Amino acid sequence: RITATVACSMDLTKYPMDKQTCTLQLESWGYNINDVMFYWTRGNDSVRGLDTLQLAQYTVEDHFTSVSEAVYETGRYPKLVFHFELKRNILYFILETYVPSILLVVLSWVSFWISQSSVPARICIGVTTVLTMTTLMMGARTSLPNANCFIKAIDVYLGICFSFIFGALLEYAVAHFCTLHQLSSKEVPKVFYFFFIKFLKSLYLELKLQLMSNPVSSESVTVKPLTSKTMSAMKRLFCIFDCFHVKNPYHIDNYARFSFPLSFIIINVLYWVYYLYF
């Protein structure tokens, strides 16, 4: 009996939904094909025990055997090749990483049902979920195997969850800013109109004094009325600015209660379909 430690080159782009195809090669070292020939006695049934084999992270899905030759400068040597396919057990990663990430995202949505006046409560939920998600990402990153691929499937999912959690925190920042802006804008128009009217009066008096000191004939002064094209362009410009104006900041939370879960479900469906079937 011979015990050997072998290595398999793996592509971890879809980790932990990855499947790896590994090969075990047995070839002659001193005798070429003119001296000896290798073959599997019972074909694929020559390898036994894989049906009852239990591994920590993998399941052997398929295996087959083949016969080949190794070509070197010294000649051609017989070689037996055993191919086997490993599928990673994803249940451990679902319980260890995916479920906690989903729960953190759902926890960040609780702030949408808290009043905007409760600033400490909403900030506490947002910051706590962001820090917890960061810790989870760092812990998952340290447990990942070293690989040449830059981004793995689990990194993509953790990044998606972190984006939603951070987006919930930004949502409250926007809603709170719009609320404060709306409260302050109720007092600003009166002051604004007062100074604006005062500015127009001073401008009118200044122009009147200039015309009295420098008389100008009516023929040299031409006044062009605003065209319909200019008026329509100004209306479109005002409509664009009006789109960015939030009339009721409390509606932002109502939209977030619907848009955040819906978009998270859609992205989850796309994520799992892509990494499981493509």
In angstroms, the Cα distances linking 193 to 178, 197, 199, 203, 207 are 22, 6, 10, 15, 21
Choose which CATH entry (1.20.58.390, 3.40.50.1100, 1.10.3720.10, 3.40.50.300) describes domain 92-185+251-277.
Answer: 1.20.58.390
Tell me: pLDDT of 228 over 60: no
Give the model's pLDDT for residue 52. 84
Give the model's pLDDT for residue 216. 52
Higher pLDDT, 223 or 52: 52
Interacting residues of 44 by C-beta distance below 8 A, sequence separation 6+: 63, 64, 65
Domain boundaries, the chain: 19-89, 92-185+251-277
Give the model's pLDDT for residue 148. 62
pTM of structure? 0.75
Alpha-helical runs (H) found in the chain = 91-93, 99-108, 119-143, 153-185, 188-213, 228-243, 250-277
Let me know: does 253 contact 116? Beta carbons within 8 Å: yes
Give the model's pLDDT for residue 250. 79
Give the model's pLDDT for residue 101. 97
Residue whose structure tokens are 């094209």? 229
Give the model's pLDDT for residue 184. 59
Higher pLDDT, 211 or 8: 8
DSSP code at position 246: -
Give tens-digit pLDDT for 153-184: 999 999 999 999 999 999 999 888 888 876 65
